[in-house]
Amino acid sequence: MPVFVTIVFDTRRLKKKTKAYPVKLRVTFERKVRYYLTRYDLTEEAYSKLNSSRLKGRDLTISDALKDLHRDAEKVAKDLDSFSFLEFEKDFVLNHPSLKQTKSLQDSIPVTSLSFEVATYKNNFPIFKNESPTRGTILFVFIHYIDKLLREHRIATATHYQTAYNTFARFRGNNQIAALVEQEFSAGTLERYQISYRHT
């Protein structure tokens, strides 16, 4: 049975405080459907702009992130020898920077040790020089996702995430994800981050 992966805009779940709706990753397999929350909550107007060819600033950042998320999720789902939601969550959803990490997801999948010797990558990936990360922090998410990319031999993408972590950590520090969910991906924060990134 094929696996179907799509990005959906859930207009059933209005967040009254921000007047925005959650954007989700939907995975369908053997008539079973699971939704995974992205870190992006958008108004109807903002979501309608994402397919425009003249995007810039925050809109372009979010559009690119969602396209990457969709493409990478499809690839991982199709590359699994025998698809199951558990394997997909372990190999892709867990610790993905663009997806919210629910407590039920984190508790269902045990934390595994890093797949590579730190010494092998300490020059090109100084993120591995950090002390063992605490679950739920920005560092925890990035270091395990970079490890996953290296296991897949996606060196260039791993390098990109190393740079992204460095600039984001300088911008906001190694904070707890839970404390940032409502603020890190607001329009103002993303714009300030982009300005900070351009000056690094």
The pLDDT score that the predictor gives to residue 189 is 45
For residues 86 and 3, membership in a common domain is answered with yes
pLDDT digits (tens, 9 = 90+) for 156-181: 678 878 887 777 777 555 555 444 44
For residues 52 and 128, membership in a common domain is answered with no
Contacts (Cβ under 8 Å, ≥6 apart) of 4: 27, 28, 29
In the predicted model, residues of the chain with pLDDT beneath 50 are 177-200
The pLDDT score that the predictor gives to residue 171 is 58
Residue 3, beta-bridge partner list: 29
Burial of residue 94 (number of CB atoms within 10 Å: 0-12, 13-18, 19+): buried
- DSSP conformation class of 166: H
The pLDDT score that the predictor gives to residue 28 is 96
For residues 14 and 100, membership in a common domain is answered with yes
Q: Report pTM.
A: 0.59
Q: Which of residues 110, 137, 171 is at a domain's end?
A: 110
Q: Which of residues 46, 76, 110 is at a domain's end?
A: 110
Q: Which of residues 42, 76, 110 is at a domain's end?
A: 110
For residues 91 and 155, membership in a common domain is answered with no
For residues 87 and 162, membership in a common domain is answered with no
The pLDDT score that the predictor gives to residue 7 is 96
Residue ranges making up the domain that contains 76? 1-110
Provide the percentage of residues in the chain whose pLDDT is more than 70.
72
The pLDDT score that the predictor gives to residue 118 is 55
For residues 198 and 146, membership in a common domain is answered with yes
The pLDDT score that the predictor gives to residue 22 is 94
Rounded-to-integer distance, Cα 90 and Cα 101, Å: 12
- The mean pLDDT value of the chain amounts to 77
The pLDDT score that the predictor gives to residue 66 is 93
Q: Tell me if 164 sits within 8 A of 127, measured CB to CB.
A: no
